[in-house]
């Protein structure tokens, strides 16, 4: 069963600065509809987070499940998508993202990109750059995945997409070591779910193995700068 973070914290130091130096997180970020909850469930091994096909965001509050992952104890966070059609929802989602970083400032960050017929979605690029500006991602703790890809994609798709992400993602190191391309699977096929889990483990455990070298990696928030007008302006700049 997933846990929902409390909306209020006692006064004093933020949770995580000292009390949680030995506890790590895997914070899954991305917009609504890219499959964050589904991928979190794959890693957890059971249906801990609600997911499904919907015209609205399925996840509206920050949830987490603590598991052992390849010899490491991690809290896997399922975070609401950042970009919504209404500014009020964007502001609420920013608060939810803040909660995860407060709870586990020492975390691996996995950002999930969706696609439209193979093309990286503009709103995902805008969301990544906005969160990266608020919480500058450390390269040693950042993982990016492009989710739900068809098996019948072109042979050069991964290479050309890496080059594209290198151009679009601001102040971010992008290469094959921190980007994973995930195939669309039959969710009811145990073997396919296991293969997907192994692919997720591979890219995340590479970060876990370096924990002792790089951690603690505390994420401190800078100013959020994300409004509907900025989103529209940023999308235009992509083209």
114-134 pLDDT, tens digit per residue, is 999 999 999 899 889 888 887
The label of the residue with tokens 């993982």 reads: 143
**Does residue 11 lie within any of the structural domains?**
no
- Asked if residue 141 is part of any domain, the answer here is yes
In a domain, 156, yes or no: yes
How many domains is the chain built from?
1
Q: In the prediction, which pLDDT does 68 show?
A: 79
Residues 155-201 pLDDT 10s: 999 999 999 999 999 999 999 989 999 999 999 999 999 999 998 88
DSSP 47-83: --S-----SS-S--S-EEEEEEETTEEEEEEE---S-
Predicted confidence (pLDDT) per residue in 197-215, tens digit: 998 888 877 776 665 555 4
The confidence band for 70, taking pLDDT boundaries of 50, 70 and 90, is low
Task: Please tell me the least confidently modeled range out of 46-55, 65-74, 157-166.
Answer: 46-55
Please check whether residue 5 lies inside any domain of the structure. Answer: no
Q: For residue 26, what are the domain limits?
A: 22-238
DSSP H or E stretch at residue 217: none
Q: Is 43 helix (H, G, I), strand (E, B) or coil?
A: helix
Does the pLDDT value for residue 84 go beyond 80?
no
**9 lies in some domain:** no
Q: Is residue 137 part of a domain?
A: yes
Identify whether 26 is part of a domain: yes
pTM of the model: 0.77
1 in a domain, yes or no? no
CATH of the domain at 150: 3.40.50.300
Q: Around Cβ 35, how many Cβ atoms within 10 Å?
A: 20
Asked if pLDDT for residue 7 goes beyond 70, the answer is no
């Amino acid at each position: 069963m997933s846990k929902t973070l409390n909306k209020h914290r006692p006064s004093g130091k933020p949770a995580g600065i000292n009390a949680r130096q030995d506890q790590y997180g895997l914070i899954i970020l991305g917009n609504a509809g890219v499959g964050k909850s589904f991928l979190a469930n794959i890693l957890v091994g059971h249906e801990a987070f609600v997911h499904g096909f919907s015209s609205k965001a399925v996840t509206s509050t920050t949830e987490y499940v603590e598991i052992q992952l390849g010899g490491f104890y991690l809290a896997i966070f399922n975070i609401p998508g950042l970009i919504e059609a209404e500014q009020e929802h964007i502001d609420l989602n920013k608060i939810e993202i803040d909660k995860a970083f407060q709870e586990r400032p020492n975390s691996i960050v996995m950002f999930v990109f969706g696609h439209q017929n193979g093309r990286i979605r503009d709103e995902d690029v805008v969301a990544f750059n906005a969160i990266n500006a608020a919480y500058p991602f450390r390269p040693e703790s950042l993982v990016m995945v492009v989710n739900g890809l068809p098996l019948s994609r072109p042979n050069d798709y991964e290479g050309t997409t890496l080059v594209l992400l290198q151009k679009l993602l601001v102040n971010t190191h992008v290469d094959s070591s921190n980007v994973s391309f995930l195939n669309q699977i039959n969710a009811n096929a145990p073997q396919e779910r296991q293969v997907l889990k192994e692919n997720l483990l591979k890219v995340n455990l590479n970060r876990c193995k370096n924990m002792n070298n790089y951690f603690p990696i505390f994420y401190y928030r800078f100013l959020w700068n994300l409004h509907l007008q900025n989103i529209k302006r940023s999308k235009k700049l992509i083209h």
